[in-house]
Structure 1
């Protein structure tokens, strides 16, 4: 991308000024195509899209491009359903996330069911029920399918769940505590015990996810650590003051790409699929920080603040993310070394010319000659390559 294509293309003719990676790329270039955009921010987003689509050899590549799971409170039914969601947000309702892992989503969903007794069944199952299901028996659903709760009371539970997911955890806990006391005073001890269990569920998830962190509303914290020619990008997700978990990424790049360059490429590719939060805090300043902020704002349809904190609690969050990036990269390098030794041992045992770069394992199953299924898993020098699995 460039304001002046003439200057950019001319710069590629001066090989002595280029890095080894750029020299190799220039020598292999056969033709060029140009796309004109209205703004620099649009060009930056388009570049990130092209990199993810075509995966060019000499660009920094984000290898893990899976979408993140979230929680959906549906809005197209009188008795809303709470469920795990991944992908485009096309169904009417309220979406909460992203969560860093499926485990974090499942844990939060279980808490929502224990605390607010919301249904998780599909609309089809809901319409077909004639008696309460197992979820009601284990006190994880209020059984609206068979009129065990009124629509008004169920909607009140939905409102409480929504408040909990948007940062109102303490208020909801106090509300349940008051109701528990009222039930106890009325000697409705079974009802009081139910509220006690719901408070415990909320307290457990609050302690686990650090809910109501002061000064942190909706933000991603992104830190970069490099060692041995490799890079780890650690991303922490904070929504409504809650820590929704973290995930480590290991982009593919040239050894001479510094942390700032890797971060710049990572931001463009990462947020081409994920919706940027209101604030993105980073450990390094990307080369085009202001332009990247504008591009993220265009992507989100609102202002996104891209910042590198220098002091205070926000800086401490970045330091914490950096420590996690350092640990994750150290583990990965140790695992890679172990994998390399195993592959070298395999090459020696099988008298191969060198360590195998790719190993495929196949398995076929059938039921008395019918319903045949075949599967392939793939491994390489860095472990299992799950995106190459086939069924």
Structure 2
């Protein structure tokens, strides 16, 4: 069976064979050729064009493999649509007002299923999960990256072609006025110019891609700091969540604990006795060694979680886990490799790979908590 393909609105008449609609009308008896079809999720099976999901004006029709248990759902009965899968989006779950769910088994490419979810969200059919919104935004940004890359490559290619044309003419002139040796050097000059132009094009492309990645990341962090499009993490197996509490973010981290410890000792020495005369001896004083103490930093690995109400650090080291409620958090200190939490009675410091992302999620979580 070929991978399904989405056709939306105006694409239907141009791209979807009429035999898909005719075949489904005759086979399932669920639709007619007069129905106002808005979108079709189409594929082929055994050389025959079929449809898996058809969106009408006020309802959708889902045809499972083999057309068993065909479902007709009014849009008003559906609350939320969510994509499911691990490495790719394998299917869609529809949550109904009746607390039931329906699995739409339409295995296909990641982008194709997101196209279905985005269509349902944009057209007001049903809301979609925050994670799917983030992935749709990422794919949109990726398309912009590809468009930018093609534009840059086109400009560089034109420059290279112009460079080649110039050096080609230069080579032709040299062949008419110089001997074979002069022609050889002209050819080397052309190759050098081409190689230089290719390096410049590659460097320009890499710089443009780096700037675009930075722009996309900065936009994402700014959105998170405002408390919008906050991610959701299923951490129920790692931490115990309170009623109406959700987990935004989690990452591997290390708690830093500073202790005053003995790091060495000063040298001690014994006194010296010198006999002056009979019955008279002079004694010099001795000294004992002393401990040298200093601050020593210990690291305790664990996992840090941010929820809608708390900061939670979980470690297997005895006594090193901690929980901070947002009400008790006075302030935070940002470091280049971590973040510090200040409370009225004590402080906590943790390090992680991406403290900037953690700080942005924490800022958004605090804003939403205050609301």
TM-score interval w.r.t. the shorter chain? Answer: under 0.3
| TM-score between both structures, scaled by the size of structure 2 | 0.23
| TM-score between both structures, scaled by the size of structure 1 | 0.22
Q: Higher strand proportion, which one?
A: 2
**Structure showing greater relative contact order (alpha-carbon pairs closer than 8 Å, 6 or more residues apart):** 1
